[in-house]
Chains A and B, each alone.
Chain A
Amino acid sequence: MRHRLLGAALAVVAALATASVLSAHHSVAGQFDESKSVTLKGVISKVDWVNPHIYLYIDVKTDGEMVTWSLGTVPTAMARRAGLTKESISGKVGEVVTIDCIPARDGTKHLGWVNTITYADGHKIELSRR
C-alpha cells in the first residue's frame, strides 16, 4: 500500500514536470501597470487555455451592471507544472471568487493580469507575485 501511494505520488509529480519550451514573450510590465492593483469579486465565466498566456474572464457586478473583465496570466506549461488545469482555475460553476490583478497600462478598460485568485473555500492560486 505504501509503495502504491508513493508510486501514485511520483506519477502525479512526474505529470507536473512538463517541459514545454518557452520562447521569448513580451514583458508583463510592458502591458500592465505594476504600480496599481485591482480587486475583483465575481464569477469566472470562461477560461481560454491558450498560449502564450491563459486568459480568464470574470463577470463582476459594478454599479448595478455586469461587467466582464479579461485577465491574462501565465502560459499553459507553467500552470501545468503547478498542477493547475482549466477546471481548477475555473472553480465550481457559479462560485464567487476574488481576484487580485493589475490593470492595463494603455487604458483599456476591464483588462488586467492576474496575481492571485481566492476561491470561496479560502484556498488561493497565486499565479504571479508583484
Chain B
Amino acid sequence: MRHTIRRTLTAAVIVSALAAPASLGAQQAAPRGTADLLTKLSAKPTPHLNGKPDFNGTWDHLGGIEFVRPEKLADGSICLRGCAPAAPRPAAPAAAAPRPAQANPPQAMFPKYKAEFLAKVKDLSARQVETDNVLKCLAPGLPRLGPPGKIVQNSKEVVFLYDDVNGAFFRIIPVDGRTTYRKDMPASFLGDSIGHFEGDTLVVETTNFNEDTWLTDNGAFHTAGLKVVERLRRVGDTIEYTATSHDPAVLVEPWASKPYTMWITSQELEEPARCEDRDLEHIVDGSHHDNPR
C-alpha cells in the first residue's frame, strides 16, 4: 500500500520523497524523477517478454504533484511545500474583487482549433467550473488522464491501471494482432483501444470516445471522432510516454500533449479515496487550476 506510513523514519528532514525501485535495491536511491535516477534506470537492460518489450510493472511519473516538497522537522512538524519562511506576499487583492475567469487559454501545450471553434473553446474555458466534468469527479478521458500507474501484460493483452484523484480506472488493450475495434461497445470516457508493437515501443490507438471529456484544461473539447495514439517506449527501467490526439473535425493539426518519462517503482497502486466534490457550489468566480497534460 503506497501510503503506509511507519513511524520509524527518524530523518529530521525529508527534502523530497524518493523512489526505491525493486531493481535498484535498498542501497541506492535518488530523488524521485531526477535526471540522475532516470539516467541510471534507463541504462539498465530492457527486459522482454515473448519477444516483445516487457511493460509489466508499477510506474511512477510524479503524477502532477511534483511541486509538493514535504519537509519534516525534528519536532514532528510537517510542511507540504517546505518549512522555510515564505517569500513576502504581494498585497492582498480587494476582498470582494472577483478574479477574471481564464478566458484565454494558454497557447503552449494547447491544441490548435479551427477558427470556427475558437469561440466555443473560449466560452467553455471561461465557464470551466461549470463545464469541466473533471471538476465533477468524472473520468478525465484521454489524453488528460496521463500515463498508467501500473501495466499488466501477457502475450494477448496489455492492461493499464490508474489511481487517479478522480477514481480508479482501467483499460484493456488487446495486442493479439487484431485490427478492428469492438463493435458492441458504447462510446466511453476512455474509449476502445488496440495495441501493437513497433520494436521496443507499444503503440496504442484508441477511438470510440464520448464527448464528455476534454483533451486538456481550458475548454479543449473534442468530438466523438477523436483518436488518441499513445506510444510507450521501454528504455531500461523507464518508459518514454507520448500521446497524440487526432480530431480533424475541430483541430487544425494533431496535438501532442505533455510527454512523460515514467520509471519503475516498488510502490503498489491502491484504491484512491473516493472523489466527492464539495466545493463547486461555493466558487464565486470561474478561476481554476491550470494543469495542462
Contacts and interface: CB of A to CB of B under 8 A. Distances in A.
Nearest to B167: A51
Contacts of A11: 6, 20, 26
B54 interface: no
12 contacts: A14-B19, A15-B2, A22-B65, A25-B288, A25-B289, A25-B291, A51-B275, A52-B279, A53-B278, A83-B78, A125-B78, A130-B89
B287 A22 contact: no
Nearest to A129: B86
Interface in A16-30: 16-27, 29-30
Interface in B140-179: 140, 144-146, 149, 162-166
A22 B64 contact: yes
Nearest to B92: A35
Q: How large is the interface on B (under 10, 10 to 19, 20 to 34, 35 or more residues)?
A: 35 or more
B77 to A, nearest CB: 4
A17 B265 CA distance: 9
A35 B99 CA distance: 13
B1 to A, nearest CB: 8
Contacts of B14: 13, 16, 83
A16 B140 CA distance: 25
A38 interface: no
Interface string B11-37: 100100111100000110100100000
Contacts of A108: 282
B244 to A, nearest CB: 19
B246 to A, nearest CB: 22
A12 B2 CA distance: 9
Interface in A22-66: 22-27, 29-31, 33-36, 48-53, 55
B290 interface: yes
B135 A24 contact: yes
A117 B285 CA distance: 28
A52 B64 CA distance: 13
B8 A78 contact: no
A94 interface: no
Interface string B90-103: 00111110010000
Nearest to B278: A55
Given A22-B64, A81-B70, A30 B286 contact: yes
A19 B66 CA distance: 9
B282 A82 contact: no
Interface stretch (B38-46, B55-63, B226-234): B55-63
